[in-house]
């Protein structure tokens, strides 16, 4: 199968937005498929793919790995200022409304820049299917454009909360513009419900996973690590979590304790960790390379993260459950995630107050053992979920061919 995956974030972007399609592109290439991963360039200084060399580059590419096609957006001062939050209130709202109404999105500078590359992909790569992941609506617009040029189906992936993402009054209008999708995939069952609501489709659930390869656990030799991973979302709630850890540590549990953070919110977590100063070791990491992060998670006494209801479903709990250590979600977690944790035999507890955090950590003092069912957990790996994705994309191409 020849497939084009469309994602806004470049594969080297130090953010979770790059993870899903990059990981699936790698997994699908490992299964013998030819995959082009079309994204925006990594940064403004990156000139991206040279248009004139694309056709030849595709011919000579080693398809054991995906082909990364990075397209630099055209300069658009209004859109740049809009996305940077630099437009005044009234003008900002008018600009957003206008671009959604007439262009279906706020990244038209990237979509227009991608257009000549799509013509080359259609002629020289001749994709069988396109899979495009909603991080912004222009991702889907590019998929539609390529689908039209190449005469092949496109499949829409919904990994963000459509209800919360689109401005009031535009959710159904814009959804109606993407009904040409042959099928839809969803990040979770919660996102599947969003797909049913707005697009009147029955999306196939494709979970974002973890690498099934073994990792060497980084275990503290003479202590214990509490590792917080990912975004903060709510400073007040994060402060309550830290308060609980600090209270527990002061009660005779500080010896050899390391409280560590890995994620993009370095400045916020540096301030939030202040109550722990002088009590235990504090380490603030930025966005870590994935192998290093997995090693720290596998060696943690407790893996903690902040839950965001607005996200519907987060990739983080699957990643942490796979580490095989107790997981703390603050201040809650969805029924879907709790059910997955029970299915795989993981320990995932939710706490919403500092006192509950203290009680949870005390319970681990008595028993922190885990009985993870590896075969069940591995069903959520990139490799296993790629098998599901493969069936969905192949079926979408066959169905499209029968009905066209």
Q: Report the distance separating Cα 372 and Cα 254, nearest Å.
A: 28
Per-residue pLDDT tens for 324-359?
A: 999 999 999 999 999 999 999 999 999 999 999 999
In order of their start, the domains of the chain are 2-209+382-403 (3.40.50.2000), 224-378 (3.40.50.2000)
Provide the mean pLDDT of the chain: 95
How far is CA 285 from its chain centroid? 19
The mean per-residue pLDDT over the stretch 269-280 comes to 97
Q: 3 with 28: CB under 8 angstroms?
A: yes
In degrees and rounded to multiples of 5, residue 156 shows phi and psi of -90, 130
Q: Name 329's bridge partners.
A: 305, 350
pLDDT tens-place string over residues 227-253: 999 999 999 999 999 999 999 999 999
Note the pTM of the prediction, 2 decimals.
0.94
Dist. CA 391–CA 388, nearest whole Å = 5
Q: SS3 for 258? A: strand
Lowest average pLDDT, out of 7-11, 13-17, 192-196, goes to 13-17
Round to whole Å and give the CA distance between 14 and 265. 12
What does the pLDDT read at residue 399? 64
- The pLDDT assigned to 309 comes to 84
């Amino acid at each position: 199968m020849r497939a084009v995956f469309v994602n806004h974030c470049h594969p080297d972007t130090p953010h979770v937005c790059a993870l899903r399609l990059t990981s699936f592109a790698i997994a699908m290439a490992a299964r013998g498929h030819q995959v082009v991963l079309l994204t925006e360039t990594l940064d403004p200084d990156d000139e991206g793919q040279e248009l004139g060399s694309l056709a030849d580059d595709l011919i000579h590419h080693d398809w054991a790995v995906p082909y990364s096609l990075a397209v630099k957006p055209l300069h658009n001062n209004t859109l740049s200022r809009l996305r940077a939050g630099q437009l005044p209130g009234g003008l900002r709202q008018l600009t957003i409304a206008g671009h959604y109404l007439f262009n279906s999105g706020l990244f038209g500078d990237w979509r227009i820049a991608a257009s000549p590359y799509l013509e080359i992909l259609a002629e020289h790569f001749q994709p069988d299917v396109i899979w495009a992941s909603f991080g912004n609506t222009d991702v889907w617009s590019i998929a539609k454009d390529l689908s039209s040029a190449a005469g092949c189906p496109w499949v829409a992936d919904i990994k963000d909360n459509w209800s919360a993402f689109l401005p009031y009054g535009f959710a159904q209008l814009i959804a109606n513009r993407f009904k040409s999708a042959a099928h839809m995939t969803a990040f979770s069952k919660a996102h599947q419900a969003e797909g049913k609501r707005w697009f009147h489709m029955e999306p196939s659930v494709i979970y974002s996973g973890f690498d099934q390869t073994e990792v060497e656990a980084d275990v503290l030799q003479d202590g214990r690590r509490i590792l917080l991973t990912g975004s903060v979302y709510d400073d007040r709630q994060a402060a309550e979590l830290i308060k609980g850890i600090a209270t527990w540590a002061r009660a005779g549990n500080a010896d050899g304790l390391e409280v560590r953070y890995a994620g993009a919110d370095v400045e916020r977590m540096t301030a939030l960790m202040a109550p722990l100063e002088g009590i235990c070791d504090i380490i603030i990491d930025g966005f870590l390379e994935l192998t290093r992060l997995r090693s720290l998670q596998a060696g943690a006494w407790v893996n903690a993260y902040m839950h965001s209801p607005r996200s519907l479903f987060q990739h983080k709990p699957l990643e942490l459950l796979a580490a095989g250590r107790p997981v703390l979600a603050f201040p809650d977690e969805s029924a879907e995630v709790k059910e997955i944790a029970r299915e795989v035999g993981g320990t995932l507890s939710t706490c919403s107050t500092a006192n509950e955090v203290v009680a949870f950590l005390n319970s681990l003092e008595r028993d922190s053992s885990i009985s993870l069912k590896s075969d069940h957990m591995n069903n959520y790996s990139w490799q296993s979920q790629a098998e599901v994705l493969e069936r969905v994309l192949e079926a979408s191409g066959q169905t499209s061919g029968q009905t066209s």
